[in-house]
Structure 1
Amino acid sequence: MTPAWHEEAIARHHDRKAFDCGDQDLNNFLRHSARQSHDRGGAKTFLAIGDSDGSILGFYSVAPAELAYARTPEVVRRGLAKHAVPGFRLARLAVHVDVQKKGLGGQLLLAAGRRCLRTAAEVGGVVLLIDAKSPPAASWYAGFGAVALEDAPLTLMLPLETIEISLRAAEKL
């Protein structure tokens, strides 16, 4: 069962050193780079904070992005001008080893999607680009409807429309 959690933007007071997702690169990003990037206008990082103890259960980082029109699958680019397709990039998503395989990753993906949908309503955007860190991670994202780009199998594309449908079905929008 997924532990109860709430979302907070990364801040100095969060205990990032205690976080371990099992991937040293992701741990190091959270510990050493995420807050600085967030504070300086780079990728924004949001944390899943456990309601019971205030620990970091997981996180995701998002930033504005675009995808070349020619690289965009037809289903997404249909009806758009033949210019770069606007969207967002899910640069990182990780879950603490103690709560992996309990649904938190999917909840974080939807939380990131909800944030992107709200922003897209103001500034535009039709796609969430995902930088998977490994083939198994890419397969996990594909389970949510993400499609790998033909020329970059670890870069996946998830239409914001797909995220919106999932959020409405879960009554989270």
Structure 2
Amino acid sequence: MGSGGRGSRTRIKKRCEDFSRSNAPTDRPKSPGGRALRHPKPWELEVQSYFRDRGCGRAKKRGTRRLLLARRSGVIVAAADTEVSISKDGDGSYVNFFICAVAINVSERGKGGRLARELVQVLKDCAVQKAREGGLPRAKVYGRIDANNEPSVHLVDDMGFELEQMESVHLQTWSTMLGV
């Protein structure tokens, strides 16, 4: 974590909060019709487009949340589309925390994976938080990764995820079960 103001490093605030919450500045730009635009920063529009193409889908499913994961100097640098549900197996009920998509600002990409590692940890923490809120003892965190995306495959492998399923030649499902 940066020290907030020294050199080019700035503090990244990471938290698990609904992306739709009103965190936007009050001086939001207006559309030609005079309506306040929801996401004033260009990258936020890029994120919305990314989620439409790769996220949980256009239809808002029950349990689907858009999470703001990190800000740097007030600018959103990472967000995720997640789907939360309750599942049951032989050991009882648990939270199913599916990571549909993660978007990282292009200005933050290719910097050694530090932000990506922190974001995966934030998502794991969010899943545990959901399990605690629901009084459940476990949370399963999982997502699909393109097998050709070697940095992401190495990252989740290093962070305790296991390859659960090969859905196609290129698509893999990785998961981890966390105790609360």
- TM interval, short-chain normalised: 0.5 to 0.7
Q: Give the whole-Å Cα distance in 1 for the aligned partners of 2:163 and 2:123.
A: 19
3-state DSSP of counterpart to 1:18 = helix
Shift of 1:66: 6.3
Amino acid at match of 2:102: L
Higher helix share: 1
Superimposed CA distance per residue, residues 10-58 of structure 1 (whole angstroms, 9 cap, x where no aligned partner): 23743463259xxx9x762346897x97976452112245342x22211
1:45 alignment partner in structure 2? 66
Q: 1:104 aligns with which of 115, 130, 133?
A: 115
Q: Give the whole-Å Cα distance in 1 for the aligned partners of 2:153 and 2:88.
A: 20
**1:149 pairs with 2:160:** no
Higher strand share: 2
What is the TM-score of this pair, normalised by structure 2? 0.60
1:127 alignment partner in structure 2? 140
The structure-2 alpha-carbon separation of the partners of 1:33 and 1:142, relative to structure 1 and needing over 3 Å to count, comes to closer
Q: Which runs of 4+ in 1 moved over 6 A?
A: 31-34, 36-40
2:153 alignment partner in structure 1? 138
What is the TM-score of this pair, normalised by structure 1? 0.62
Structure 1 runs not aligned, ≥5 long: 70-78, 165-173
Shift of 1:149: 1.0
Structure 2 runs not aligned, ≥5 long: 3-9, 21-36
Give the conservation status (yes or no) of the 8 Å contact 1:16–1:31: no
Q: 2:43 aligns with which of 14, 18, 25?
A: 18
Q: Which has the higher contact order (CA 8 A, sep 6+)?
A: 1
Query: Max radius of gyration: which structure?
Result: 2
